[in-house]
Chain A
Amino acid sequence: MAKVLKAEQQRTGIKLLWGTACLFANPRYMHGAATSCNADAFAYAAAQVKKAIEVTHQLGGEGYTFWGGREGYSTLWNTDIGRELDHLGAFLHMAVEHKKKIGFKGQFYIEPKPKEPTKHQYDSDAAACLNFLRQYKLTSHFKLNLETNHATLAGHEMQHELEVAVAANALGSMDANTGDPMLGWDTDQFPTSVYLTAQCMLSLLKMGGFKTGGVNFDAKVRRESYEPVDLFHAHIGGMDAFARGLKIAAAIRADGRLEEFVKNRYRSWDSGIGKKIESGKANFKTLETYILKKGEVTKNESGRQEFLENLINEFI
């Protein structure tokens, strides 16, 4: 199969953004893969991921994604969370080791999702993934692949997940889709909201654009949209929505008022006591002395949420 894929890649110039292994559909992974109570399932998953990374490497893939579909639990009555997390950490370290061994230079991604099919998935959201990567000393080897519908399942807006990742310098790639707020599950619809795509592209431009990742349409047409032409309509719509989002985000940045507002909002940290705190030259005692002398804090200013929402609408 890899030969056929490679031949088509060479014929068309289309490249592999990332590969991954399906460690959730086969019944052997009913209790999870790297977090299964059955050590043999862990071993099988290791062999499967080894092969998937090798094929991704062979096809010149620019990345490899870990999405733990069943790396979580259905009930805590039968689950040892600490042991399962240790196993997942060990699994990813083995993946890093194998990557080095075969000389694969692609970026490793971890993809948050809070639930479905499990009741709770360990990679719940961007913050949980970052904490997991730090705990197991994996931060330098992984970036996040963020999916809109996974963010909303976690009770976050996509913009929240993106900003959390950008703040940690860990945004790698995007699984572009959208959910339906009236439905509580992962509907994986094609993204058409220009507000959403503008937010995505603002965060992306803020971090300087993609280095290895991309806008990956992890999205499916509706069950009623059953004809091949619907696949074209869906992708064209998603691409147009992101193109508009890009132009809007670029215009907001070129205008500069939003960025200037945020910069100005934090100006108390650019000099005086704020600067002392940020540079580590203050402690509770010096701060107590400072504020006793001053008496009360400098008057707070409006957050101007409505003003800013209107400002954004100027561009949409």
Chain B
Amino acid sequence: MAYFPKIKKIKYEGPGSKNPLSFKWYDENEIVAGKTMRDHLRFSVVYWHTFRNPLSDPFGVGTAFRPWDDGSESVKNAQKRVKVAFEFMEKLGAPYYAFHDRDVAPEGKSLAA
């Protein structure tokens, strides 16, 4: 199933585009100084802020509205989030991601869990 059903793969449309869901400058296949932009920049999405941050601050609780997340620390919820993350990164066209252990796997009752 699609977690971002209204969003198609983000494409390069050039600086003249008024589409907020398009790239104006990043054309992954364009060669700059002997290499593609994709190979120069090696963009990476971080799991912690993009998929785990509820957007809380020291003065208030999180505001993030994430329809796919049931707010629990269950393994099922964590596994669903992986699907969301990869759909997001695929649509964005980011070749890499990074994680903290606790972002992808909830803390068990003991270290061995």
Contacts and interface: CB of A to CB of B under 8 A. Distances in A.
B1 interface: no
A239 B22 CA distance: 11
Nearest to A205: B33
15 contacts: A1-B79, A13-B95, A17-B44, A20-B100, A51-B111, A213-B42, A216-B46, A217-B49, A219-B49, A220-B50, A228-B65, A232-B91, A232-B92, A235-B92, A250-B32
Contacts, number: 180
Interface of A: 1-2, 4-5, 8-9, 11-22, 25-26, 44, 47-48, 51-52, 55, 62, 65, 188, 201, 205, 209-210, 213-229, 231-233, 235-236, 239-244, 246-247, 250, 253-254
B24 to A, nearest CB: 5
B105 A247 contact: no
A315 B107 CA distance: 49
Most buried by B among A9, A15, A220: A220
B44 A247 contact: no
A278 to B, nearest CB: 30
A12 B90 contact: yes
Given A224-B63, A253-B33, A214 B44 contact: yes
Contacts of B7: 229, 232
Given A1-B78, A1-B79, A220-B49, A236 B63 contact: no
A215 B32 CA distance: 16
Contacts of A5: 82, 104
Given A1-B105, A12-B90, A16-B96, A214 B43 contact: yes
B100 to A, nearest CB: 4
A244 B100 CA distance: 29
Interface of B: 3-4, 7, 10, 20-27, 32-33, 35, 37, 40-46, 49-50, 53, 55-57, 60, 62-67, 75, 78-79, 82-83, 85-86, 88-92, 94-105, 107, 111
A171 B55 CA distance: 30
Interface of B is mostly: mixed
Contacts of A213: 42
Contact of B55 (A44, A223, A242): A223
A240 B89 contact: no
Contacts of A26: 107
Nearest to B92: A235
Nearest to B59: A223
Name the 10 nearest CB pairs between A and B, nearest first.
Answer: A214-B42, A243-B26, A220-B49, A17-B96, A243-B25, A216-B44, A22-B102, A8-B86, A1-B105, A17-B44
Contact of B37 (A210, A226, A246): A246
Contact of B82 (A8, A13, A16, A214): A8
B94 A14 contact: yes
Contacts of B104: 1, 5
Most buried by B among A201, A216, A219, A221: A216
B46 to A, nearest CB: 5
A143 B71 CA distance: 36
